[in-house]
Amino acid sequence: MATYFFGDTAVLTGRTLRHVTRSIDTVITTVITPVAMMLMFVYVFGGAIDTGPVRYVNYMLPGILLITIASGISYTAYRLFTDMQSGIFDRFHSMPIARSGALWAHVLTSLVANLVSLVIVMGAALLMGFRTGAGVLAWLAVAGILFLFTLALTWIAVIPGLCATSVEGAGVFAYPLLFLPFVSSAFVPTGTMPGPVRWFAEHQPVTSIVDTIRDLFAQRPVGDGIWTASAWCVGILVVAYALAMAAYRRKIG
């Protein structure tokens, strides 16, 4: 049974990946926003923001990486919604294939597409002066956190992709996710924020994730921060996965 699942999922993932490569504009659109934001913040606002001895491009890059992911997963919801509306899922379910394979294909495609986007954004950051002396283990830790964050947000995207009644509804959920880094330590130190906003910024998941990635890049001790960031990612992932699978069972039931 497991063999059929992995084989079917691999074939269906190849199908959705081909759709992405045929509409490369989606990847371009995904990276345009974070790259434009980097240019604006570094060259327009960066000089007015005090981040101490840390170069501003180094300071704000972790937040930009999270925005890149949030931007990319909106297309996951769109592609899933389009497949649901076209009836292709019903057609797949009439075939002798793993029923969840089509859903996992969209999830895996999201991971691959976001990886490409993150690499492009990292390349742009290097051109803008980002530098790090982080070692292999630190880079692996950053990659692991970004992977968990992408997987968690992808399963969040699955829910509107299955339940939305319009294309707009499938994509609008991403707006709060794009906004969340702005009320965190991603672009300015939280100490500059007024009381209630500061409390929210310091206790929401993006801040712990951003601070951990920033410390890893800067070769600073991360302490318990890495466990807090990982716990947020895993917690969101578990809840989103449970809700998404419940919605999927209702949809195909």
Write the pLDDT tens digit of every residue in 44-91: 877 777 777 788 899 999 999 999 999 888 888 888 888 777 776 667
pLDDT for 2 equals 47
Helix and strand counts by DSSP (H, E) for the chain: 11, 0
Q: Which residues of 41-71 are buried (b: 16+ CB within 10 A; e: fewer)?
A: bbeeebeeeebeeeebbbbbbbbbbbbbbbb
Q: Which residues contact 30 (CB under 8 A, 6 or more apart)?
A: 68, 71, 72, 75, 113, 114, 117
**pLDDT on residue 82:** 81
pLDDT, averaged across the chain: 84
Q: What is the pLDDT of residue 140?
A: 96
pLDDT given at position 1: 45
Residue 109 in contact with residue 64, Cβ under 8 Å? no
DSSP the chain: -HHHHHHHHHHHHHHHHHHHHHTTHHHHHHHHHHHHHHHHIIIIIGGGS--TTS-HHHHHHHHHHHHHHHHHHHHHHHHHHHHHHHTHHHHHHTSSS-TTHHHHHHHHHHHHHHHHHHHHHHHHHHHTT------HHHHHHHHHHHHHHHHHHHHHHHHHHHH-SSHHHHHHTHHHHHHGGGGTTTTS-GGGS-HHHHHHHHHSHHHHHHHHHHHHHTT---TTHHHHHHHHHHHHHHHHHHHHHHHHHHHH-
pLDDT for 104: 83
Per-residue pLDDT of the chain (253 residues; tens, 9 = 90+): 445 667 767 777 777 777 776 666 666 777 888 888 888 888 887 777 777 778 889 999 999 999 999 988 888 888 888 877 777 666 766 666 666 677 788 888 889 889 989 999 999 999 999 999 889 999 999 999 999 999 999 999 988 888 877 777 777 777 788 888 999 999 988 888 898 999 999 999 999 999 999 999 999 998 888 999 999 999 999 999 999 989 888 877 6
Q: Judge whether 124 and 210 are in contact, CB under 8 Å.
A: no
Q: How far apart are CA 201 and CA 182, in angstroms?
A: 9
